Amino acid sequence: MTEHLSHDPETSADEETGEIAETEPEEDILYSAEVYRTENGCVLRVTDWQDGTVQTYPVARRMVDKLPFYLSMLKSKLG
């Protein structure tokens, strides 16, 4: 499933006044990914911030359980 979205500036609250202010992130996010649990299992949601699309994929729980291992491997390759 693919959906289009618009990128809104981030918001933050001033600690003293509680007023909400819009802030632009210091870095441009190109892609983001989230894994979340649903009634039917797990879902991977990948957001492409460059073209404003979101894709979702069902993911087996056993693959989600392996994510820390794969992230550790990636970290060691990049570090």
The reported pLDDT for the residue numbered 20 is 66
Give me the domain span that covers residue 15: 2-78
The reported pLDDT for the residue numbered 79 is 82
φ, ψ dihedrals at 9, nearest 5° = -60, 150
The reported pLDDT for the residue numbered 9 is 52
Cut 0.95: pTM above it: no
The reported pLDDT for the residue numbered 63 is 93
- How many domains is the chain built from? 1
At which residue do the structure tokens 């202010």 appear?
A: 21
Q: What is the mean pLDDT of each run of 10 residues along the chain (79 residues)?
A: 55 62 74 94 96 96 94 93
C-alpha 54/C-alpha 46 separation (Å) is 6
